[in-house]
Amino acid sequence: MSGASGLSAGGALKAYALLVGTTLCWGGNAVLGKLAVGEISPMLLVSARWLGVMILVALFLRRGLVRDWPVLRRHLPFLAVMGATGFTSFNALFYIAAHTTTAVNIGILQGSIPIFVLIFAFALYRDRITALQLVGVLLTAVGVVVIASGGSLERLLALAIREGDFLMIAACAFYAAYAIGLRRRPNVSTLSLFSVMAGSAFLVSLPFTAVEAAMGALQWPTPLGWLVVGLVTLFPSFLAQIFFIQGVDIIGPARAGVFANLVPVFASILAVIVLGEAFQTFQGAALALVLGGIWMSERFKRAVPLPATMR
């Protein structure tokens, strides 16, 4: 991995372009999740997404996977849990949440993931939290509460939180648990690791898709649903992973991590442009609180490795 020292201007610009592209893909996933509503059922979308990734892995990443397989095979149970937690559970809750909340809210609430990571790291590994990091956690928590309550004090006092916002918060907690679990990842290439976890995500999703069908809730994709499947597979699920890994290789994980703050920004902008969603004052205040909290937590943390695979 190359660090910042000796990095050319061209190399830095390439890294910035790759990382901006990554966060644009992840922010766009909120819009795609909203577009999927009524076009394909949530669990079928999850299964189709990871099946598509498996096809791409077989086409482009199989050599590295074969090379690393002897090591990966010894860690299959752990990797299966990781794929189920970070990929299947996160995405299932993500797409179900889209039925009852806005893409703007989904994007902003994703900004809580780094804070959940910070909290879980303290709870499980006693990672030190500075006073300013704690302020950052509180700011982000306030932003999440503002979103969940719709900016309404009455709704907050009555604990009337929309189901979709609650599911999105739960999804973020699942992804944070996955990110913490990456500390125990086997020593193989990140792409091979991603390939196995994506395969696990697909297999774990199948029983839930079967339950969805048994309940009569399965909806076969419409033409727009198939388009959403293709876009979700190619951009947030596959290309974003490749872009992120390359960006980290160029400028290092600490600097690359700052770009994650762009996800809620891009999600909000795309939701307004593509879906025509209104961007309300309380959402702007929540976005400022979430981004400010993340900035404080990141600015005053100790240098730790950033997970090399994201949503």
At 74-124, the pLDDT tens digits run 999 999 999 999 999 999 999 999 999 888 889 888 878 877 888 888 888
Q: How confident is the model at residue 306 (pLDDT cuts 50, 70, 90)?
A: very low
**pLDDT at position 214, please?**
97
Question: Alpha-carbon distance 244 to 255, whole Å?
Answer: 12
pLDDT of residue 31: 95
Can you tell me the mean pLDDT for 12-27? 89
> Residue 190 pLDDT > 50, yes or no?
yes
Tell me the percentage of the chain whose pLDDT exceeds 90.
Answer: 47
15 band by pLDDT with thresholds 50, 70 and 90: confident
Average pLDDT over residues 33-60: 96
Residue 174 vs residues 168, 179, 304, 311: alpha-carbon distances, Å? 10, 9, 20, 11
d(CA 72, CA 36): 34
**Rounded to an integer, what distance in angstroms lies between the CA atom of residue 217 and that of residue 59?**
32
Structure tokens at 15: 């890294």
- Residue 275, both tokens: 């879906």
Residue 147 has pLDDT above 90, yes or no: no
Name the pLDDT band for 297 (thresholds 50, 70, 90): low
The predicted pLDDT at position 76 comes to 95
- Scanning the chain, the segments in alpha helix (DSSP H) are 9-35, 42-60, 62-74, 76-83, 90-97, 103-110, 113-125, 131-148, 153-157, 163-181, 190-214, 223-232, 240-251, 253-257, 262-274, 281-299
Does residue 308 surpass a pLDDT of 60? no
3-class secondary structure for 132-144?
Answer: HHHHHHHHHHHHH
DSSP per-residue letters across 222-253: -HHHHHHHHHHIIIIIIIHHHHHHHHHHHH-H
Q: What percent of the chain is predicted at pLDDT more than 70?
A: 87
Per-residue pLDDT at 30:
93
Give the model's confidence band at 52: pLDDT under 50 very low, under 70 low, under 90 confident, else very high.
very high
260, 23 contact by CB (below 8 A)? yes
Which pLDDT score, from 0 to 100, does residue 152 have?
73
Q: Which ranges constitute the DSSP H helices of 8-61?
A: 9-35, 42-60
Per residue in 208-233, pLDDT tens? 999 999 999 999 999 999 999 999 99
Q: Residue 6: which residues within 8 A CB-CB, separation 6 or more?
A: none
